[in-house]
Structure 1
């Protein structure tokens, strides 16, 4: 049984990790006062932990704005995890081939704590690019990948997500009604793909298919994302055969199951 001193150290580690998670949700960074409020920690504790994290490279401080951001050390660790799970080495060539055909961004995404985590992405050659970079999170209910991952989760988990997800409004097109979301998930299960019609970001559309294991459960999603002025939702469906073929290859390549 650990001593009170050991427990205190563990608690401080937990608080530091909480700060890192919160900073991950602030791509433009934030100040110590706001981070203290978000973490529900005393300002002195937050400031002391930020100082330690900054010295060790996990957090970066802009001296002019006094805003904190995730540091290079976090990125380096994330890259190691990605390599360890085979995303970078195994998925990249497949995503590149999809993008060579579509000339649009291709994304490999997974569920991470009731959100969508972008594990790998290949940008298209066009000037207009999407902002979902590896390591970034999106909502499950407002993205094509998220909806596919909900639809093809374990049946019990899928029901839980449909019933409990916070259907926050991201855009005017976001599905926020529980019954409408339930019906959308049922349609996705029947047709095998999901779309996002400016539901997560204005001016962006996407289509996604699941990467399925041998039981038919999604281990990841594969999506093509485009600016709305280039494709309608109906036009996006032309990429379904290509995405499904790539998803089948990824199901064999990815060491996720």
Structure 2
């Protein structure tokens, strides 16, 4: 008996990516690809998925049927398209409680501090203050302040302003009413309308700045870190002495800082837009 071992005789569902040997890794990879397509498109039919993946419609159909059986995908029978199933939510709901923004952010903070040679901080909003929970020091000998654990006023710091900018009007008003706007330096913003103007700009631009507002001669800029719900849970800032550090003039700094905020946000479950 002669066995046909040509590629055409090997079933597509059991071959590896190179078509040379059987294995389950390819099926797992394809199933994940299907989920990614459904997440990106919001819904797709068998033919659309097959075309994008470069597989036969029967293969796409089998993958969707398997995902449907596990509630990872579900079919809209009126449109005939598939979308993500509620099983995805069941799995995803177990993740946020185990995520630690400090631990997830640490390598990104270090990389940013090394690249721009300034101090990078991660802050969260607690008890009406911006509390620094982690820090990466730049190699400069001037970067000697340890801000970890420090409670800094929200109206006079870039992180505080960024966190305020992401709050709804009522919550922001409550915090500012309780804390007031005390002057810490001659540059501290003590006018509520002036601060609100800065916060509106921060929300629109995606970053907030502070120029000698907390300490004379200290400048900083911050961006938000968001969780899987899109809520700002922290802020990443870069700070340095005013004589050498102007956030808006440092080449590539704002773009790199925003990318860092996005990368940490992705680690916390926030998708890239």
After TM superposition, the score normalised by the length of structure 1 is: 0.62
Change (3 A) 1:186 1:161: farther
**Is 2:227–2:269's contact at 8 Å kept on the other side of the alignment?**
no
Aligned to 2:131: 117
* Structure-2 separation of matches of 1:88 and 1:181: 28
Aligned to 2:186: 172
Alignment size in residue pairs? 173
What runs of 5+ residues in structure 1 fail to find an aligned partner? 1-83
* Structure-2 separation of matches of 1:206 and 1:136: 16
* Structure-2 separation of matches of 1:104 and 1:237: 14
Matched, 1:98 2:102: no
Structure showing greater radius of gyration is: 2
| Higher helix content, 1 or 2 | 1
After TM superposition, the score normalised by the length of structure 2 is: 0.58
**Is 1:162–1:182's contact at 8 Å kept on the other side of the alignment?**
no
Query: Out of 147, 167, 172, which is 1:153 matched to?
Result: 167
Aligned to 1:197: 211
1:159 Cα shift?
Answer: 3.8
Q: Secondary structure at the match of 1:110?
A: strand
Query: Out of 140, 146, 159, which is 1:126 matched to?
Result: 140
Aligned to 1:250: 264
Please give the root-mean-square deviation of Cα atoms over the aligned residues, in Å: 2.2
CA deviations 1:156-197 (Å, max 9, x no partner) are 323433555410111100000111111111111111110010
* Structure-2 separation of matches of 1:165 and 1:179: 16
* Structure-2 separation of matches of 1:87 and 1:241: 21
Change (3 A) 1:201 1:109: same
**Range 215-224 or range 127-136, more displaced:** 127-136
**Range 144-153 or range 214-223, more displaced:** 214-223
* Structure-2 separation of matches of 1:172 and 1:85: 40
Change (3 A) 1:118 1:204: same
